[in-house]
Amino acid sequence: MSSVSGNGRSGPARMPSPVADLAGNPLAPRGKVAGLTWVPWWVFLITGCFWLVIAWVVLAFNTSSLKTVAVLAGIVILVAAVAELFDMFFAPGWRWLHGILGIVFLLTGFFAFINPGRTVFWLAAILGWYLLFKGAADIVLAFLSKREHDLWWVGLLVGMLELLLGLWAAGRFFRSVALLVVVIGVIALMRAITDFVMAFRVRDMVRAARAE
């Protein structure tokens, strides 16, 4: 196929320039990767491992101080907010939803630092608020990404567990500081799982783009 240039001469038509990942590997023509992430899939795998370490550290945490646990919860939720804001720029789709979650989690994390030694119920309500939003978002993202990868159902299960745990935490069914620590650890663990799912989702989308 040829095209006519400005000086009247014809020449071969230019194909869309390929988009490369951070390693310089071409992914696919630019028109076929609209909405794909700009970072390699293994970046989300690394962040998932990071969240696993956080979960292990939190679950190994031994304290009976409600104030200390509240600060710990605030730190974990703020880190989750930063992760959502990262996904707002680099997730393969529905970035606006990650942006909303990032803002909500920032506010939730700051609330955890306000009078942290108040009551167990206060902190449980904050954790429940976080889990309700995160669970609902994970369920929505699971259905929206159903056609993109085969592990969408893992995100659905994680979202359902987060939703149930959020309802339980917000329902004031416990008074134990130790249980609050477990809930915080589970939050980090769930985040690790969703990052692993995101990693394989990005990998499958890139492979599909290369195959077209």
pLDDT tens by residue, 58-95:
998 887 788 888 889 999 999 999 999 988 888 777 78
The pTM assigned to this predicted structure is 0.74
pLDDT computed for residue 111 by the predictor: 85
pLDDT computed for residue 116 by the predictor: 66
Sign of CA dihedral 167, 81, 137, 111: positive
23 burial class (0-12, 13-18, 19+ CB within 10 angstroms)?
exposed
Instruction: Break the chain into its structural domains and give their ranges.
Output: 49-211
CA nearest 83: which of 43, 110, 112, 117?
43
64 burial class (0-12, 13-18, 19+ CB within 10 angstroms)?
exposed
Helix (H) or strand (E) run with residue 3 in it? strand 2-4
pLDDT along the chain (212 residues), means of 10: 47 42 40 55 92 93 82 91 89 82 90 74 85 92 84 92 89 74 92 91 80 71
